[in-house]
Amino acid sequence: MFKTAYISLIAIVLVLFSSNSVSAKKKRILVFSKTAGFYHSSIKVGIAAVQKLGLENKLEVDTTKDAGKFTTENLQQYAAVVFLNTTGDVFNEAQQSAFEQYIKKGGGFVGVHAATDTEYEWPWYGKLVGAYFISHPEQQMAALNVVNQNTIATKHLPKVWNRKDEWYNFKNINPDLKVLITIDETTYKGGKNGEPHPMAWYHDFDGGRAFYTELGHVEESYEDPLYLNHLLGGIQYAIGDSKMEKK
């Protein structure tokens, strides 16, 4: 009888260990910041900001500029990958395949600002991130319209959010996006998308979850609690920790 109870106890411990291991994987993210084009000076402070968010929200944060980390084996430990101001053609075909399979198996993606200025020749990525960058005017103040305040990435934001950043014009906008924030082109010079001009969105895509925010060019963003909580909400959705829409 003692032996049976001991074996049962061992089985329970193993189940708990396995459960904790799965839970740990769900709390680990990779911040990827490789550039093959323009290099944003805000990358350094952006990495530090995400690491701080990790400490404050029980997330383990790894960082890399090495696309060689995009293998099937390595990616499986991450609940989401954050593309922090990546630019240009950053992957070879094997790395593209590994990342695509990662998303199809339920992985999460967070794109920040220049993530839309990345992998123009890879149509699947364009659909994942949601659009491609085509141009931007000079940095200036503009009014953002928070068109959906009922989400974990926007619930804390004002209905009209005035801020300074570098405002992208987009092409190949995925029609299936769930738009969170748009920009009012009458409040700044150089907007070319017309109404609506999306700036932040999310969608379930090809088995995984994807969130993108155009905001994040200027270094000041990464000291702004409104922006940081917006980014955190996107990360929480991407890792599958919370549903984007509040009930």
Position 13 in a domain:
no
Residue-level pLDDT at 241: 87
CB 113 within 8 A of CB 40: yes
What does the pLDDT read at residue 88? 98
The burial class, CB within 10 Å (0-12 / 13-18 / 19+), for 28 is middle
Question: Domain containing 199: what range?
Answer: 29-238
pTM (2 decimals)? 0.90
Whether 1 is covered by a domain: the verdict is: no
Q: Is residue 95 part of a domain?
A: yes
Q: Is 41 exposed, middle or buried (0-12, 13-18, 19+ CB in 10 A)?
A: exposed
229, part of any domain: yes
Interacting residues of 202 by C-beta distance below 8 A, sequence separation 6+: 151, 153, 177, 178, 180, 209, 210, 211, 212, 234, 237, 244
- What pLDDT shows up at residue 27? 83
pLDDT score of 23: 42
Which residues sit opposite 151 in a β-bridge?
A: 245
Q: What is the mean pLDDT of each run of 10 residues along the chain (247 residues)?
A: 44 40 63 97 98 97 98 98 98 98 98 98 98 98 98 98 98 98 98 98 98 98 98 97 85
What CATH number corresponds to the domain at position 157? 3.40.50.880
Q: Is residue 17 part of a domain?
A: no
pLDDT for 221 equals: 97
